Amino acid sequence: MLLENLVERAPEGLEIVEVAIRDFPFFSQDDESDPPADVVAAKALIQTCDCVLLVSPEYDFGVPGFLKNAVDWLSRPFGDRTLVGRPMAVCGASTGYMGTIRGQLHWRQSWYFFKAPVFSEAELTVSFAAKAFDEERRLTSELYATNVDHFLTALNDWLVRGCTPPK
């Protein structure tokens, strides 16, 4: 639902497209040289993008396994350029008080390995997610909506500047 709100509220010039990862099988290194069609398609899409935006829940104070599994597929075989050097931004929604911030820090660790710039000029955490969205799947609070807009505008500006800090 957070992703849907991000897509809807994206400022002009920033297009957010969802990468289909739902049907990725469990990663096995035995299969990495012959990946499934869904992985091949996801890689091709990401390679056309300026940035990977992770919209991630937090599981057990860390990253959710299904999304880590997807990143593992997308990063292999070693030397693949889909994620290496590709800028990343992370945000998330969770039912707890901390709104995925611990999981977000874990994601930054993986992008350290990918030698890529990571967006740090704004943070977006949606806590108490069970109450944060209404029946139309939109954010209920003005505060969250404002935070989303600030995050997206800062992200767009950062990308336009070539992932450099503001002057």
Residue 89 CB-density burial (10 A; 0-12 exposed, 13-18 middle, 19+ buried): buried
54 within 8 A of 86, measured Cβ to Cβ: no
Question: What is the number of the residue whose Cβ is closest to ligand FMN?
Answer: 96
115 within 8 A of 79, measured Cβ to Cβ: no
Shortest Cβ distance from residue 59 to ligand FMN (Å)? 4
List the one residue out of 160, 93, 162, 153 whose CA is nearest residue 121: 153
Tokens representing residue 19 in the block: 């990468």
Q: Which residues in 128-157 contact ligand FMN (CB under 6 A)? A: 129
Site mask for ligand FMN (CB under 6 A), range 58-87, x = bound: xxxx--------------------------
Out of 69, 95, 153, 156, which residue is the one contacting ligand FMN (CB under 6 A)?
A: 95
Site mask for ligand FMN (CB under 6 A), range 6-25, x = bound: --------------------
Stretch that binds ligand FMN, among 31-39, 74-82, 92-100, 105-113 (CB under 6 A): 92-100
CB nearer to ligand FMN: pick between 124 and 154: 124
- Which residue has tokens 């075989």? 77
> What does the alpha-carbon distance between residue 71 and residue 4 come to, in Å, rounded to a whole number?
21
Shortest Cβ distance from residue 78 to ligand FMN (Å)? 29
Question: In sequence order, what are the beta bridge partners of 64?
Answer: none
**Site for ligand FMN contains 112 (CB under 6 A):** no
Q: How far is CA 164 from the centre of its chain?
A: 19
Stretch that binds ligand FMN, among 6-14, 28-36, 54-62, 82-90 (CB under 6 A): 54-62
Residue 161 CB-density burial (10 A; 0-12 exposed, 13-18 middle, 19+ buried): exposed
Which spans of this chain sit near ligand FMN (rule: CB under 6 A)? 57-61, 93-96, 98, 129
